[in-house]
Amino acid sequence: MTSSASVCVFFQMFAVMPDAPSPQRRLPAEWEPQSAVQLTFPHANSDWADMLDEVLPCFSAIASAIGRYQNVLVVCPDAAAVRPWLRDVPPERLVIAEIPSNDTWARDHGGITIWEGDRPVVLDFFFSGWGLKFPADLDNRITRHLWERGLLRAEHRYVGLLLEGGSIESDGQGTLLTTTECLLSPNRHPHLTRDQLEAQLRECFGLQRVLWLEHGQLAGDDTDAHIDTLARFCSPDTIAHVYCPDRHDEHFEPLQAMERQLQQWTTLDGHPYHLVRLPWPNACYAADGHRLPATYANFLIINGAVLVPTYRVPQDDEAIACIQALFPDRDIIGIDCRPLIEQHGSLHCVTMQYPVSVVGPQNP
């Protein structure tokens, strides 16, 4: 059976859509108040097996930074093994759940929370390892396990769509930003047209519109152009995006086309978006010579701060200054994410935020 056929069969057997559309349904923006951020920690049975010593300090730094502002929800197969890496997280802000995982990309296997009126609902989409590229059977069960253990204090709802958190951006006001390259990939929704998929997204998230980017992808990216590697809402009227100034770089033409499309869009009230070009980092390469997807768009907004990935390149300081200007009222914290891009993701990719009231301190 082909991969696309397998996906079709799955949805015929399993698809369960949300209740009828509600005018109160809303997908919050990342800058809204949060209760916690989920990290799914690396372990010896994940793709990080050969470089655990390099990547664990990165996860530790992310957890420590988040713990200064809010709860940290850590998913791991062995709590005793990860506790030494979490010493700097205040105990009252640390929630550990022993749950098996295939890998560590919480942005894509984590629950996506919406508001229905004043009530949070955690939507559990099907995660297929980015269109059946990698095993994801364990990752696909994590959100259910968290809810069954009472660690997600919200309704848990299965949704019969294949969707990764890194593939969508919300302005909190009814606009969703995504890419055609990802959501219309043949191994994701071969049974749906673009219009059909958009209708289901509108229903799930209470959207007024979906903005589809049709250009832009980073070399080395396994996700088929996740939006969080390319363009991010920083406010309802501001989009920060990657921009390549080098005409000889393979990214130059696609990202020029992406910027032209961004320039054509307006906010819901008809004003052009304020577009901010993010610095373009020097190319980073793996040991075998293939290019890695370093991007400053993969920042994480949390309560009172923004965590910015850095890559040990000269543009790191410029990126931090650029994002500080975008978020003047928040602390800006650089995190060395050079190890993360070895597995083709970065800071935002390994995290998933949950709004206020969804995750609380762990019971004694």
- Alpha-carbon distance of 126 to 167, in angstroms, equals 13
Within the chain, residue ranges assigned H as helices are 3-14, 52-67, 79-82, 106-109, 129-132, 142-148, 180-183, 194-205, 252-264, 316-326
Predicted local distance difference test score (pLDDT) of residue 19: 46
pLDDT at 89 over 80: yes
pLDDT at 82 over 60: yes
Predicted local distance difference test score (pLDDT) of residue 259: 98
pLDDT at 269 over 50: yes
- Alpha-carbon distance of 180 to 225, in angstroms, equals 8
360 or 6: which leads in pLDDT: 360
Query: Which residue from 34, 37, 31, 35 is spatially nearest to 236, judged by alpha carbons?
Result: 31
pLDDT at 18 over 50: no
Structure tokens at 222: 């396994």
pLDDT at 160 over 70: yes
Task: Find the mean pLDDT for residues 52-64.
Answer: 98
pLDDT at 300 over 70: yes
Predicted local distance difference test score (pLDDT) of residue 362: 58
Predicted local distance difference test score (pLDDT) of residue 15: 44
- Alpha-carbon distance of 160 to 14, in angstroms, equals 7
- Alpha-carbon distance of 48 to 50, in angstroms, equals 6
Query: Which residue from 248, 334, 243, 251 is spatially nearest to 291, judged by alpha carbons?
Result: 251
Predicted local distance difference test score (pLDDT) of residue 10: 44
pLDDT, averaged across the chain: 93
- Alpha-carbon distance of 346 to 334, in angstroms, equals 12
pLDDT at 345 over 80: yes
Given pLDDT bands bounded at 50, 70 and 90, which one contains residue 301? very high
Given pLDDT bands bounded at 50, 70 and 90, which one contains residue 189? confident
pLDDT tens-digit profile of 208-225? 999 999 999 999 998 999
Lowest mean pLDDT among 88-97, 146-155, 352-361: 352-361
Assess contact for 305 and 332: CB atoms under 8 A: yes
pLDDT at 174 over 80: yes
pLDDT at 277 over 70: yes
What are the φ/ψ torsions at residue 247 (nearest 5 degrees)?
A: -65, -20
pLDDT at 8 over 70: no
Given pLDDT bands bounded at 50, 70 and 90, which one contains residue 14? very low
Given pLDDT bands bounded at 50, 70 and 90, which one contains residue 4? very low
pLDDT at 136 over 80: yes
Helix (H) or strand (E) holding 235: strand 231-235
Predicted local distance difference test score (pLDDT) of residue 361: 65
What domains can be seen in the chain, in order of their start residue?
A: 17-355 (3.75.10.10)
